[in-house]
Structure 1
């Protein structure tokens, strides 16, 4: 009778089998889920919190400003508006956003109605504010409205106003050090029809073209 022998598994055979089994177990217990977006693999976090700065997405910063070509400039110019007696009547903030400026004006203690609002040539606010010169003009000197003309400020019955307006006719550098003026009346922006009759002719006269018939200057502040 032939003797029987028992063959023990070689370690060379057992080791690969164990490795395959361990890999299969790890794959089954992974918390990673497949993504339905082509070419992506979702991030997988275990018990540890997400690394600092990654919660808002790749490359993001608070406010979402980084890499945003349309975000507002970090630089802002401020204006303190005062009336002829030196009392505070409002503030203005000017920032660059893309290829234009955003001007925000908040005011109080003004007469209800529309008030002309313009950047003026000089950065002085003395006396009746005529020291501020005429409307700021960049480029063609005879252009109307002027480069410094802004949307009129509408004051409510309680004497307060808030305006957010935009302009692409001037830059931050061009208004810095100039003055911002609030006028007593509404601005017609030189929009007088040719049929309008005046002494000496028809259409807008020089005063209308240069001031918009906005009247006197009731508040002024230097942009800085």
Structure 2
């Protein structure tokens, strides 16, 4: 006996439902200010895998790009960050070939296009996180995802952001920090008495630690 049309339709709907459920990551979006950067991850490789650098002019935008050569505090070039115009936002590809400790490292676009490694705090010349268009809240306009570095000191990440335009970041700098960025995600139970949630330092830096590498963004 052939199944009825109703049975077939119900079976098809169930199959679609299962497929959609399988695609979901099961995570609810956070409504707590400052817990997530204003970015969408792109074609991320496996942890520690290095995405090949894109050739000059690559992309759908007709070759609108800017590049930053990443250098550590000793002045050694350790990688490259490529910024490509992508609709109303910017696609960001960061590739590190050597020189960073294994693990996650916070990344941000900073307000000043100066990467001076001298002084007590290397690259403090880059200033704070970039804010554009009168934005003052958290996450800042310059917040990016973290990059994962493997046991050989290399890694890469590809992401995109609509919090800034290519024009707004050209002439600024990108910083890779020594530690991971917690995106100010500090539950109240870990906070000091009377001060629930992340403090101002955590909100502004993500507790990512020292500035390990810096690059001026140039077109």
SS in 1 for 2:146: strand
> Quick check: 2:68–2:80 contact (8 Å CA) kept in 1?
yes
Q: Runs of at least 4 residues of structure 1 off by over 6 A? A: none
Q: Let me know the Cα RMSD of the aligned residues.
A: 1.6
TM-score, structure 2 normalization = 0.67
Alignment-derived partner of residue 95 in structure 2: 106
Q: Shift of residue 196 of structure 1?
A: 3.0
Residue equivalent to 1:206: 200
The total of aligned residue pairs comes to 155
- How do residues 147-158 of structure 1 correspond to structure 2 at under 5 angstroms? 147-158=141-152
Aligned-partner Cα distance in 2 for 1:112–1:124: 26
**Larger Rg belongs to:** 1
Higher relative contact order (CA 8 A, sep 6+): 2
CA contact (8 A) 2:89 2:166 kept: no
Query: Residues 82-161 of structure 1: matches in 2 within 5 Å?
Result: 82-107=71-96, 108-126=98-116, 127=118, 128-139=122-133, 141-161=135-155
Give unmatched runs, 5+ long, in structure 2.
Answer: 1-58
Give the TM-score, by structure 1 length.
0.66
> Which SS does the other structure have where 2:209 is aligned?
coil
Aligned partners of 2:135 and 2:141 also within 8 Å: no
For residue 210 of structure 1, give the secondary structure of its aligned residue in structure 2.
helix
